[in-house]
Structure 1
Amino acid sequence: MKYAGGTIDEGAVKAAGGQVLPDGSGVRVGGWNISTGHGPITADADLEKLKDGLGTLAAPEQFYGANFLRLRHDATGTVVSFTALDALKGWLQDKSERVRVGESDDWLASRREDVEQHAAQTLEYDWTFTTSYAGSLERDGASSSSGGDGSSSSGSAAAPPAAAAADGGNDGSSAAAGAQAAAQGGSAAGPLPKWQASSEQIPRALLTSRDPILFYDELPLYESELDDHGSSRVSLKMRVMPRCWYVLLRFWLRVDRVMVRLRETRLFCQFDGPSAGAVVLREVKYHEGTFEALRAAGAPAEGPAYADADTAAQALLAVAPVGELCTSAPPPPAPANGFGVQSLGELKRVQTETVDWGYYRFGNASSPRPPLLLIPGFGSTVSAWPLDFLARLAADQEVVMVDNRGQGFTQDLDPTARLSIPGLANDTMEFVRALGLDQVTAVAGSAGGLEATPPSDLATAVLTSPNSTEVQHLALGYALDTPAGVQAACDYGAATHSTVQSPSNNTTTGQQLAAILNYLIFDDSVWELLPVVDNEVLLVVGREDQVVPADNSRAMATRLQRPWLVLLEGGHAAFLQHQPVFLQVLDAFLTT
């Protein structure tokens, strides 16, 4: 039956031990009070007041200010809610790269008078109304609007008293990680729950079961036709079943002839699970790409496949996600096979014409995957790779870990030779051939990525940003102005302190710097050749990276044929700060 709040099966609600709310706005079941509200598009006069209150000159022309979804856990007073206003605030806070095409210039030109009259010194509008909004948490008047993050991951926010006081990290998103929010413990006056990383997954089998749907609703929050240049929309769907509730929130963007962007947030709560309805799982996925890049990756060409969020979601499943992840997570348990410092074995050596290589080779040699070749970055050696990180890599494939020419265990047999980036890349591939390997997956840190240039010898490439172990570099590797960054830096220092000790060579480091600067300033050949690289390339960078800004990787992703772009909260060593998420993304990348 159609009620004020959506479609409710009153008989099924009663059979599940629940009840329809007196005003017909929703149901009470499983310890949750779930309601929705509908209203017309906000009137122009009210929308102008809203814009004034937010300090913005722009807003979507179709704004559903009265629409909402509210899910309240009765035992604790914890509320998960979704509103158009909070979604729009998420747009104002979003840090996504602006879509800079002719259409945006048209959009700004049409508002030139407003812009010139505005008192602000700098005005920059995201005319696509992109939002990272992933819902809001409330309890006793305290509220928190949370943004998402990226490439496909799940998270969980737990809030028993002890966990609620702990730092929950950043709101999570990844390709297969999780965030969970527990509403259990404490009282309605307790602390606001925080989203924390979790390995739990939303049980798809339960969602596809034949259980009756007690309550179903769909709500638009805001929409814009982008002045006839495309479409932007935030909407949600929700359903309540006898054993669970489920919410799907989507931001969908299509800029005609340019690109498509889809951000999905899923929330799930199971009433009859071990937590008895007191834990909410959240999963956030980001997909985006230009139509040209998506077509090259195997997705459909621009057209009906991207007509709306539902069809776009199906089309984007055909290609690797270009995602943004930001989460923090506890490390997964160490692999049962126990790869560790002892299992690295003895240092091995092999010679090519001008280099005597010192390397380690260990891990799962029976894996069908190509070996991972770990290439250190500028001034770094094999000591930069933490042991727990190596152990988890070694569980699923063979790992080869080597020092660059003239660094650590690797000796330069021609010390008079001048280092160059093309030369270092050639050295690396000669090393691979000397080991008798046909192809490898290069996992290159920071400047080590410059060496992974001959694509014919690579199965795939993973370009990341590890840092050296010197304390003075930790401020660049980790955001030391945040508790999470400080803890990550401490953990990294402890992890690398016990690894193999391969000291860097200051003379070689200076030569590396000269080679890097010469290459970056005078050689743009690789930039020009990026479009012909048909390897899959995974780019993993920190949003706050001060060494290699994230915009560099965004630019690379637009040039590569088959990119995966993942942005993590943190600095130059963000992928080590978020090891579990990185390892999950890496596994998905290598499996695909």
Structure 2
Amino acid sequence: MTETSKNPIDIQKFPLNSEEHTFKSWKVKYEQSHILHSKCSKEGECNLNDESNLCEFCVYSQKVPLPQLPDMVFPKNVLCIQNSNGCELNFNPLDALMLVSDKPMNLEIACAGAWKESRQESGYLGRMIKPFDWTFTTEYKGTLKGNWTVENTNERIDLEKLKVKKSILFYHDLTLFEDELHDNGCAVCSVKIRVMPNEFFILLRYFLRIDNVLIRINDTRIYHDFETNFVIREYTARQGMIQEIKVPSYVLTDPSAVSPHVPLIKSCFEKLSFPSASGDSL
């Protein structure tokens, strides 16, 4: 048997789309490519004791403590924003999925009961109710690297200021992972960035819709004014039963449109300060 026939799909050779730009003292870079392979790309020959040589599938299997992964995981989809002093904001699917609970939560159990009542004739239920968080809910707020100082703050992102029309120097939207819940809804984690002449804004969003049952939205908003040496990070968690959300049905599929109508259950506001690099002018 030839090496090619043993391993007909060399996932490392899929095209990788990447782009990098510098704005003030910040380097913004993204990478984007294929979904995660459904099995070991080395035909089970990965040495699990040698992390440096694991294929991507085995990396996820080792580090994400779940009996299964979302339908679509994009391991190459990474957004990185790095200051010249080395402080970095990084957004990647592995870190997001590592925060998914490997145990059923009371909230999911209650939700499953309501779901079961609305799906009594569906054979899907027996496959989906498993002893882990099958919604892949994550409270991921991004990965910090470098000498950040994190503190709670009363400062807020001026969303009205962000609505003012400005030239967009850079924009990109990346999906980190997605699951269609066997056509009974969706769970999506994505990150968007836009850079303007004097600032950048990032929205990291986990959106869950279980048809006829539940909406959940975990948002992390990150804002930086280039004239300052800090970043504002706001995390909000919203959740509501669909029958209690009084909006037209088409709104339920649009996270931005439905979000204001979903009850806020948790919030966290932080100032992420970083040291000025030598030669930087704030």
TM-score by length of 1: 0.36
C-alpha offsets along residues 251-274 of structure 1, whole Å, 9 cap, x if unaligned?
A: 1001111111111110011012xx
Corresponding residue for 1:300?
247
Corresponding residue for 1:291?
242
Give the secondary-structure state (helix, strand or coil) at the position aligned to 1:207: helix
Corresponding residue for 1:92?
101
Counterpart pick for 1:110 among 127, 134, 156: 127
Give the secondary-structure state (helix, strand or coil) at the position aligned to 1:312: helix
Is 1:250–1:265's contact at 8 Å kept on the other side of the alignment? yes
Name the CA distance, whole Å, in 1 between partners of 2:82 and 2:153: 22
Corresponding residue for 1:80?
89
Q: Label 1:198 to 1:91 Cα distance change in 2 as closer, same or farther (>3 A).
A: same
Quote the offset at 1:138 in angstroms: 0.7
Name the CA distance, whole Å, in 2 between partners of 1:280 and 1:257: 38
> How many residues of Structure 1 are paired with residues of Structure 2 in the alignment?
232
Name the CA distance, whole Å, in 2 between partners of 1:328 and 1:279: 10
Is 1:33–1:73's contact at 8 Å kept on the other side of the alignment? yes
- Match runs of 1:399-478 below 5 Å: none
- Match runs of 1:317-466 below 5 Å: 317-318=260-261, 321-325=263-267
Quote the offset at 1:97 in angstroms: 4.1
- Counterpart residue type for residue 305 of structure 1: V
Is 2:64–2:97's contact at 8 Å kept on the other side of the alignment? no
Does residue 55 of the first structure (1) align with residue 55 of the second (2)? Answer: no
Q: Label 1:194 to 1:126 Cα distance change in 2 as closer, same or farther (>3 A).
A: farther
Q: Label 1:284 to 1:91 Cα distance change in 2 as closer, same or farther (>3 A).
A: same
Quote the offset at 1:323 in angstroms: 1.1
Corresponding residue for 1:252?
207
Name the CA distance, whole Å, in 2 between partners of 1:97 and 1:136: 27
Quote the offset at 1:210 in angstroms: 3.4
Quote the offset at 1:280 in angstroms: 0.6
Give the secondary-structure state (helix, strand or coil) at the position aligned to 1:247: strand
Q: Label 1:271 to 1:230 Cα distance change in 2 as closer, same or farther (>3 A).
A: same
Quote the offset at 1:208 in angstroms: 2.7
Quote the offset at 1:99 in angstroms: 2.0
Corresponding residue for 1:26?
20
Structure ranking higher in strand proportion: 2
Q: Label 1:243 to 1:326 Cα distance change in 2 as closer, same or farther (>3 A).
A: closer
Name the CA distance, whole Å, in 2 between partners of 1:233 and 1:266: 16
Q: Label 1:307 to 1:318 Cα distance change in 2 as closer, same or farther (>3 A).
A: closer
Corresponding residue for 2:276?
none
Counterpart pick for 1:130 among 137, 158, 176: 137
Quote the offset at 1:36 in angstroms: 0.8
Q: Label 1:129 to 1:201 Cα distance change in 2 as closer, same or farther (>3 A).
A: same
Corresponding residue for 1:37?
31
- Match runs of 1:486-565 below 5 Å: none
Is 2:104–2:132's contact at 8 Å kept on the other side of the alignment? no
Give the secondary-structure state (helix, strand or coil) at the position aligned to 2:157: coil
Is 2:234–2:268's contact at 8 Å kept on the other side of the alignment? no
- Counterpart residue type for residue 264 of structure 2: V
Return the structure number with greater relative CO, CA threshold 8 A, min gap 6. Answer: 2
Q: Label 1:126 to 1:107 Cα distance change in 2 as closer, same or farther (>3 A).
A: farther
Name the CA distance, whole Å, in 2 between partners of 1:203 and 1:126: 34
C-alpha offsets along residues 212-259 of structure 1, whole Å, 9 cap, x if unaligned?
A: 111100000000011222110001111111101110111100111111
Quote the offset at 1:52 in angstroms: 3.7
CA-atom RMSD, angstroms?
Answer: 2.9
Give the secondary-structure state (helix, strand or coil) at the position aligned to 2:231: strand
Name the CA distance, whole Å, in 2 between partners of 1:328 and 1:280: 8
Corresponding residue for 1:265?
220
Is 1:239–1:247's contact at 8 Å kept on the other side of the alignment? yes
Quote the offset at 1:48 in angstroms: 4.7
Corresponding residue for 1:195?
150
Is 2:234–2:270's contact at 8 Å kept on the other side of the alignment? no
- Counterpart residue type for residue 223 of structure 2: F
Corresponding residue for 2:168?
213
% identical aligned pairs = 26
- Match runs of 1:142-181 below 5 Å: none
Name the CA distance, whole Å, in 2 between partners of 1:328 and 1:97: 28
Quote the offset at 1:207 in angstroms: 2.0
Q: Label 1:81 to 1:95 Cα distance change in 2 as closer, same or farther (>3 A).
A: farther
Quick check: 54-63 or 262-271, which moved more?
54-63
Give the secondary-structure state (helix, strand or coil) at the position aligned to 1:137: strand
Is 2:93–2:176's contact at 8 Å kept on the other side of the alignment? yes
Name the CA distance, whole Å, in 2 between partners of 1:246 and 1:61: 29
Runs of 5+ unmatched residues, structure 2: 1-16, 41-55, 272-282
Corresponding residue for 1:279?
230
Quote the offset at 1:327 in angstroms: 6.7
Is 1:94–1:132's contact at 8 Å kept on the other side of the alignment? no
Q: Label 1:53 to 1:208 Cα distance change in 2 as closer, same or farther (>3 A).
A: closer
Is 1:41–1:63's contact at 8 Å kept on the other side of the alignment? yes
Counterpart pick for 1:310 among 244, 256, 263: 256
Quote the offset at 1:111 in angstroms: 7.6
Is 2:174–2:190's contact at 8 Å kept on the other side of the alignment? yes
Structure ranking higher in helix proportion: 1
Runs of 5+ unmatched residues, structure 1: 6-24, 113-122, 140-191, 330-592
Name the CA distance, whole Å, in 2 between partners of 1:94 and 1:33: 38
Name the CA distance, whole Å, in 2 between partners of 1:83 and 1:248: 13
Name the CA distance, whole Å, in 2 between partners of 1:263 and 1:94: 19
Is 1:267–1:280's contact at 8 Å kept on the other side of the alignment? yes
- Counterpart residue type for residue 86 of structure 2: G
